[in-house]
Structure formats: C-alpha cells, structure tokens
C-alpha cells in the first residue's frame, strides 16, 4: 500500500453519488434476499407486512422494510442454533467469533461473525484508520483488555492489516500502560474519551509525566463513547496529549460505520460503500434528507452475513449535511457525529435536550474537572435538572461567580435552567468505558 495515497480504497471512497447509490441498492437487495431466505427471524418480520425482496426497487423503497430493534433480538436468542437462535444465517460451524453488546442495561445481545465477516470488520476499521493518517510506520498502543467486546479487537486487526505495529495493552493498570507507551515509543493510541482524559490525569499526578511533552503520541482514535466531536472535549484531549484526536462510530450489531477523517471537519463520514444509513424523523418516522434535519439513524450493514444487520434502529441521533469534505471523499458528513441517543435525548420542560450540549459547556470551563453528572428529576410536576461538576481549589474559592457563569452558558446553549452542585476534584464516579453521566430519573418516579 502506497503511504502517500490518502484513501484505503481510492475507488470506493471517491465514487460519485450516483454510482454510490447504485452500489448501495444492489447490495441492499442482496442482503435482504439473504436474510429472507436464511433467517427465520427476518423472514417472519417481512411476512408480517407482506414484503418480498423483489418489492424493493429503489433506495426510497427501503423504508418499506421493517426495522429491527435491539430488544427484538433478545427473545430470538439463547436457543438453537445456540446461542444465536433465529437470526443466524450461516451454519453454526462457520461462526468464528463470539461477541456481545456492551450496553449497561438489559440482557446482552450475542453477536456471531464468520471469518468472512471478521475480514469485513477489519476492512471497515482499516478504512477509518487510514483516513485518520495511520500508516505502516506507526506503532499503535491499545490500552484496554478487549474482553468479549468487539471494538478494540476490530481496531487491533485493522491496525495490523494496514501494516502498523500493534501493541495490546490489556491487563496492565493505568500507570503501567503509560510507562509502556514511554518504553516502546508508541506513536498512536485508541481509547474512549473518558479514558484518554483519565490517563493524562494519572500521567501528570502519579508519574510526573506530561503526555503532550514527554510522550510521542501523534494521533488518538476514540471509540466506545461519543465525545471526540464535542469541541471542548476534543480540545481538552488534544491539549493534554499534544495529539490529533479523531472520532469514530460503530456498534456491535452494526459495525464501524462512521469516521472522522484527517481533515477534522467536525463531522463523521458515513462509510457509504459498506453501510446504508438513513435518518428518520423522531416523531413521524419519515425519512429525512434536508441538510440541517436531525433524526434517528437507521442503518444496514451491506456485507455482513452471519448475523446480518438490516434496517437496524441504532437510536443514535444525527444531523444531516450536504457539506463536501476537503479530503475528497464523497461519503456523506454528519456534523457533530452522534449528537445523542434517542433514549437520552429527552424532552425536558418541552425542550429537546442533548447531553453533548451540556458536555460541551462543562468542558469549556478551565477550572472544571473532566467528570460531571446530569440528573433529571421531577419536583412535583416540574422537570428539574441538576448538574454535578468537579472544580479545582482555585475555582472553588470563586464558587458563586463560577456557578452563575455556568448557569448562564448552559441556558444560552440549551434554553433550560439548571441547579449546579460543585464537588472537589476526584469525588465523582470514574469510568473506563461507557460512562453513565446522564441520569433521567423521571420514569422511576412515575
Ligand atoms: Zn473528510
């Protein structure tokens, strides 16, 4: 692979819109037929609405295909072919990898992949790593135990696939991981935004190491949580590490469907040669196409075969755009990436509240720590939002002024009022993966 070519797959990544849509339709019809003939689960869904694969003649027709939600997968699993059940589309002996969803609530969903699917996973990740400037002379450190969760496994293999030297950093504790970066002179790293910030804190406080000056990390890819496209969080990470920080989006059931490129357009590209992404209005379910429209991402992995992902309701909230990226890729951009989850974006006092908006404000204040919590409750009939933040000693001595400024900026950004609670640095809960900072307690109160 020629290092100077900016694209992993120059042909696919620069296809015209017309050719891209033609390819998507062809692949969609193929995967639909595949699930119709091989998955009892999908076939039952389609028969219920009287749909046969030949009914889909255009991308517009795709909306006729029933959607799949994560909750629908649980009852069809844990039976033969065990444990994947009715959605498995290949013989059980073709399955080579077992993963499960990493959500913090509910029974996990199992995910089967064949070896061919695994090649597909690493191809998705290779596309994004190459786009973010990873090249064969990089030494990539992954400071995680990958466990049964897919993201860092796929990242690891893709990193090897493009020729990087790839170093797994599981089992070690945080200080040992930082020392490993020093020891091997790693040039790139992948982690959750929470952990990227946490590691920098540990390096400074426990080891007297300033990551921006003392370590040679040039680029960091974030996975597992949004945040790398929240401007103030990205800035905190880039300042702490002296590195470029990039976002990516994916899920166990879907694949690695979106990535920020090296131009850092403040947006994610959808990998449209491998995924069909449609954005649905939250209230009406209508497919949106206007730039600026916000809605829920419904997505199909066009080439994943063992346990396919067809019209999966990702619950990710995104905004559409017609902006063209400087990198030359024709893949569509989603400004701000995943701006929230349908479960989290709730109406508070009738106003749509995206947790990322709160994060952006909180992390733009210099005296505030990286951790915060948002708690939405009902006081009588009225919604009430409490934000707990951590502050350093200097900021604490000016607490009234800080509180007033914070309240004001939050109001400007979200049109809502807040109660603020200030806590000492280090006193709020810490997370390595899947931080749970947004707590809506209103349902429990009903
Ligand atoms: Zn780009």
Per-residue pLDDT, 446: 65
Same domain, 267 and 123: yes
Domain boundary among 342, 372, 388: 342
CA distances from 235 to 96, 198, 248, 366, 392 (A): 40, 15, 16, 11, 19
For residue 228, give the CATH number of its domain: 3.40.50.12780
User: Using an 8 Å Cβ cutoff, are 113 and 307 in contact?
Assistant: yes
Centre of ligand 1 to C-alpha 250, Å, is 17
Same domain, 413 and 318: no
Per-residue pLDDT, 432: 66
What whole-number distance in Å separates Cα of residue 414 and Cα of residue 179?
41
Q: What are phi and psi of 182, to 5 degrees?
A: -65, -50
Same domain, 65 and 186: yes
Q: How many Cα atoms within 13 Å fall on the side-chain side of residue 129? A: 30
Centre of ligand 1 to C-alpha 329, Å, is 6
Give the count of beta carbons closer than 10 Å to the beta carbon of residue 396: 15
What whole-number distance in Å separates Cα of residue 201 and Cα of residue 233?
14
Please state the rounded mean pLDDT for residues 216-236. Answer: 92
Centre of ligand 1 to C-alpha 330, Å, is 8
Centre of ligand 1 to C-alpha 433, Å, is 27
pTM (global) more than 0.75: yes
- Which domain covers residue 28, as residue numbers? 1-342
Same domain, 193 and 315: yes
Number of structural domains the chain divides into: 2
For residue 410, give the CATH number of its domain: 3.30.300.30
Same domain, 393 and 244: no
Q: pLDDT digits over 66-97, tens only?
A: 999 998 999 999 999 999 999 999 999 999 99
Give the DSSP letter of residue 225.
S
What whole-number distance in Å separates Cα of residue 283 and Cα of residue 423?
38
CA dihedral 360, 364, 367, 368 (to 10 degrees): 10
Same domain, 319 and 352: no
**Which residues fall within 8 angstroms of residue 143, CB to CB, at 6 or more apart?**
169, 172, 174, 177, 189, 191, 195, 199
Q: Is the pLDDT of residue 207 over 70?
A: yes
Same domain, 321 and 366: no
Same domain, 83 and 181: yes
CA distances from 12 to 3, 62, 190, 225, 391 (A): 18, 22, 25, 27, 48
Same domain, 307 and 325: yes
Same domain, 315 and 371: no
CA triple 246-247-250, angle to 5 deg: 145
Centre of ligand 1 to C-alpha 326, Å, is 6
Same domain, 329 and 381: no
Domain boundary among 322, 342, 362: 342
Per the document, the length of the chain is 446
Centre of ligand 1 to C-alpha 227, Å, is 18
Please state the rounded mean pLDDT for residues 102-128. Answer: 90
Same domain, 264 and 351: no
Domain boundary among 342, 377, 394: 342
Q: How far is CA 255 from the centre of its chain?
A: 10
Centre of ligand 1 to C-alpha 166, Å, is 25
Per-residue pLDDT, 355: 78
What whole-number distance in Å separates Cα of residue 120 and Cα of residue 254?
12
pLDDT band at 436 (very low <50, low <70, confident <90, very high): confident
Centre of ligand 1 to C-alpha 157, Å, is 23
């Amino acid at each position: 692979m020629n290092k100077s070519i900016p694209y992993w797959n120059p042909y696919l990544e620069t296809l015209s819109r017309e050719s891209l849509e033609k390819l998507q339709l062809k692949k969609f019809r193929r995967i639909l037929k595949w699930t119709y003939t091989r998955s009892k689960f999908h076939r039952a869904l389609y028969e219920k609405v009287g749909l046969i694969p030949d009914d889909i003649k255009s991308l517009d027709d795709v909306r006729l295909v029933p959607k799949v939600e994560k909750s629908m997968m649980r009852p069809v699993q844990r039976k033969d072919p065990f444990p994947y059940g009715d959605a498995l589309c290949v013989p059980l002996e073709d399955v080579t990898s077992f993963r499960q969803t990493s959500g913090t609530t509910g029974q996990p969903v199992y995910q089967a992949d064949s070896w061919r699917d695994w090649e597909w996973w690493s191809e998705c990740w290779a596309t994004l790593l190459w786009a973010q400037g990873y090249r064969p002379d990089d030494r990539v450190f992954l400071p995680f135990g990958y466990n049964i969760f897919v993201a860092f496994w796929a990242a690891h293999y893709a990193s090897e696939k493009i020729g990087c030297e790839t170093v797994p950093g599981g089992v070690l504790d945080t200080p040992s991981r930082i020392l490993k970066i020093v020891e091997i002179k790693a040039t790139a790293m992948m982690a959750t935004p929470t952990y990227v910030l946490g590691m920098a804190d540990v390096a400074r406080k426990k080891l007297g190491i300033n990551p921006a000056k003392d370590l040679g990390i040039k680029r960091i890819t974030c996975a597992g949580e949004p945040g790398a496209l929240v401007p103030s969080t990205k800035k905190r990470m880039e300042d702490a590490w002296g590195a470029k920080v990039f976002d990516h989006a994916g899920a166990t059931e879907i694949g690695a469907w979106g990535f920020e490129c090296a131009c850092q357009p403040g947006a994610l590209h959808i990998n449209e040669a491998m995924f069909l992404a449609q954005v649905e209005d939250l209230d009406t379910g209508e497919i949106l196409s206007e730039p600026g429209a916000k809605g829920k991402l419904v997505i199909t992995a066009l080439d994943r075969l063992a346990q396919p992902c067809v019209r999966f309701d990702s619950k990710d909230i995104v905004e559409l755009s017609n902006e063209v990226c400087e990198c030359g890729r024709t893949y569509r951009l989603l400004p701000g990436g995943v701006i929230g989850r349908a479960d989290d974006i709730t109406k508070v006092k009738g106003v749509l509240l995206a947790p990322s908006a709160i994060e952006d404000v909180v992390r733009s204040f210099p005296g505030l720590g990286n951790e915060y919590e948002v708690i939405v409750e009902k006081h009588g009939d009225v919604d009430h939002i409490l934000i707990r933040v951590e502050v350093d000693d200097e900021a604490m001595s000016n607490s009234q002024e800080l509180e007033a400024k914070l309240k004001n900026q939050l109001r400007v950004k979200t049109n809502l009022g807040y109660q603020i609670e200030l806590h000492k640095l280090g006193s709020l809960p810490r997370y390595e993966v899947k931080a749970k900072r947004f707590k809506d307690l209103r349902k429990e109160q009903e």
